[in-house]
Amino acid sequence: MMETGELPVGWEKAELSDICLVNPTVDKSAIADDLAVSFVPMPAVKAENGAVDVSATRKFGEVKKGYTPFREGDVLFAKITPCMENGKMAVVPALYNGLGFGSTEFHVLRAHPGICPQFVYYFVSSRAFRHVAEHNMSGAVGQRRVTTPYLSACKISVPPTAEQHRIVAKIEELFSELDQGAASLRTAREQLKVYRQSLLKNAFEGKLTAAWRTAHCDQLETAAALQQRIARERQARYQQQFADWQTAGQAGPKPKPPKPLPPLTAEELAELPELPAGWGWARLLDACEAVVDCHNKTAPYLSAGIPLVRTPSIRDMRLNFDDSIRYISQETYAHWSRRCPPLPGDILFTREAPMGEAALIPEGKMVCMGQRIMLLRPGKFLSGKYLLCATQNPFFKKISDKVAVGTGVKHLRVGDVERLVFPICSQLEQQEIADQLDAKLSEADQLDQTLATALQQAETLRQSILKKAFHGQLVKQAKNEEPATVLLERIRAARSTHQPARRGRSARSPA
């Protein structure tokens, strides 16, 4: 529990129960049931930053049973997983009528006189303390808790009272500077998100390539001509598939003719944004060879095999082969992918939770679709990168959200996705848009990674500050201060004086 070597001068090692009352009770007999008190459920305590919302109130009669009592200056410590690991700890501020009640999943630490509550808070909320506590939790999976005996016995290095306050003041000064820097970094990351959306919006309104289009206007095919070529190629491909099927003695399923979709009506076109001359609108199925849903169920996962792509694996137009990937056998893959095996260049598109994320399958990768994913296979005359970016365009996101169904978790149906529209232009301009977006978005991604690294470094520095604080390295020791040994002896003497004389059930501690 954050054991150190030699203690600084004037410091003393103690258990938390030596310097705090752990889970003190309250004498409820003199409190009227209609008295309003502060109420703090677990969500009211924020993770990592010590913020707690005590604005909610309830009548004492409603919370006197089944809730944890506390008062101003107490330290709340979330004991259950994952709240403890997430750092849900706080020093209680002023309360309504001086009394508060909250979740039974809080431990309460009430510092004795001479012990600074904020000093205790910074100690128990540090990641070093939480890391060790996590490995000493008790209970079943999903219901593991830090027990009262464990917390009570945790060792803490106690400095003199005045030094505790100097340490807390220095921590808060340094944390304030870190918070300002981190806030600027987070703001910059949010601005990058806005920039990405603006870039995609301009790209599919024709603004990104306006100058390029002017310079190459005599080389560009119109969208109408391109769509006619797509339709002819699709019909020719079907006829070839049908002829091959007949030649093979009608073995296997009969090829299906291209699925006709109704053309856009004048009313639909009137609601769409204006496009540059030569551009047009296309339905997704009109430009794709296939739009396929995944009907796969939960798989028997393996430690290795063929990657199974699930929704967490698709973010920011990338397929992430990280811990979110699961693996399946060749047999499972063959069964699940018999309708439409995912190929490099195909787009995997999430239909639910979160909806509308998309990524290209890279070259050389064999993957299988997991649940809640669709496959979009760009047609012969459509750039896969262009279509990928088009699905992330703010307008496409808007119309996707509009056709989503479901009262709880919204999701997209294949038929609705097939009918979604996107801007289409000549193949040459598709490639130019894809190339420009690739370059600009890559720059934005690199900058975002730099900002993310800086945020991680700020958190590392925060924990380094706490480590120095509890090793006596953050502020200078002052001469002639009362040593912690005297402070702890006074606390022990005071506790001994207030011990109840009678045996049996212990008396309640004061509120």
Q: Is residue 18 part of a domain?
A: yes
Domain containing residue 124? 12-160+482-497
Q: Which two tokens stand for residue 484?
A: 């912690």
Residue 455 belongs to some domain of the structure: no
Cα–Cα distance for residue pair 8/64, rounded to 1 Å: 44
For residue 323, being part of any structural domain is answered with yes
Q: Report pLDDT for 499.
A: 67
The confidence score (pLDDT) of residue 5 equals: 62
On whether residue 190 sits in a domain, the answer given is no
Please indicate, yes or no, whether residues 126 and 253 belong to a single structural domain of this protein.
Answer: no
The CATH number that applies at residue 490 is: 3.90.220.20
Number of domains in the chain: 2
Residues lower than pLDDT 70 in the chain: 1-5, 296, 499-511
Judge if 280 and 354 occupy the same domain. Answer: yes
Per-residue confidence (pLDDT) for residue 2, from 0 to 100:
42
Q: DSSP states of 43-85 as a string?
A: GGBPTTT--B----EEEHHHHSSSSEEE-TT-EEEE-BTTHHH
- Tokens coding 212: 């390029």
pLDDT digits (tens, 9 = 90+) for 77-129: 999 999 999 999 999 999 999 999 999 999 999 999 999 999 999 999 999 99
Provide the phi-psi class of 372: left if phi over 0, else alpha when psi is between -120 and 50, else beta: left
Q: Is residue 457 part of a domain?
A: no
Regarding whether 149 and 69 lie in a shared domain, the answer is yes
Same domain, 298 and 391: yes
Integer angstrom CA distances of residue 437 from 188, 344, 388, 393, 444: 20, 20, 11, 12, 10
Q: What is the pLDDT of residue 169?
A: 98
Q: Of all residues in the chain, what percent carry a pLDDT higher than 70? A: 96
